Amino acid sequence: MRRAVGHGKRIAGPPRNRLAARVEGLYPGKVAYKWLCFDADGVLFDYDRAEKEALEGALTRVGQRLEPELHALYRQVNQELWSAWQQGRITTDELKTVRFEHFLAKAGIRARPDSFAQCYLNALARAHHLCPGCKPALKALRRRYRLAVVTNGLSSVQQARLTGSGLMPWFEVVVISEEIGVAKPARAFFEQALHRMGQPKRDKVLVVGDSWEADIAGAAACGLHTCWFNPQGLPLPKGPTVQRVVQSWAELRQWLMNEAPRA
């Protein structure tokens, strides 16, 4: 799924560096984490590309083209329904079809929502495009840290994408919201992740995520350290202290592996 990743306008050029320095300066010294926990969509996987491919495929099956207006409408409906699910206002089964019922109705497209949903989800499960630099960075990080995935999503989709990308064997723990019946930012989600990790000390766990509300605020409320994956260069929202802000996997790797920046 795709969540809101932050608030405000994009930071371009030097201001983004000042933002990173400001956050990093709060926590000087050597990185000493034992566990790294990664969100899936927007951190491991290029969700925007996957969503576009899946929606385009589903629309083609019903004789429609993916126009920018349709894509924007789907994103609006999808975000509203995912938020409702995270807040417990709809069930997982409802989420799987209701968002497509709403989308098709608003778009004026005559199609069966359940068939459209299945076509979309099947295509999404096959779309395991990784974010730039993800795989080489993880290959290096796994030599020093224990790795976990902490994701809000549907089990069939996330399991297939982790397997198809070849990343699954690298993660000791995989926590998917549908499988445990609770979603980020709920404290119970992170408590379940900690349980599966063997209850490590909380200051030895770093959560890397692109959603300020679900990943950063949620993890911080549970006493975990956080790194905001912020490729868009958005300004730092109000809320909990974050240990680091990065805009790329290269930057994350340099920090966690104590590597010098590459020219």
Enzyme catalytic residues? 39
* Cβ-proximal residues to 108 (8 Å cutoff; 6+ apart), any chain: none
Residues 233, 235, 240, 243, Cα dihedral to 10°:
40
Asked if 210 contacts 191 with a C-beta cutoff of 8 angstroms, the reply is: no
What are the φ and ψ backbone dihedral angles of 226, each rounded to 5 degrees?
-135, 150
- Give the amino acid at 210: D
Asked if 138 contacts 172 with a C-beta cutoff of 8 angstroms, the reply is: no
The tokens for 114 are: 């359940």
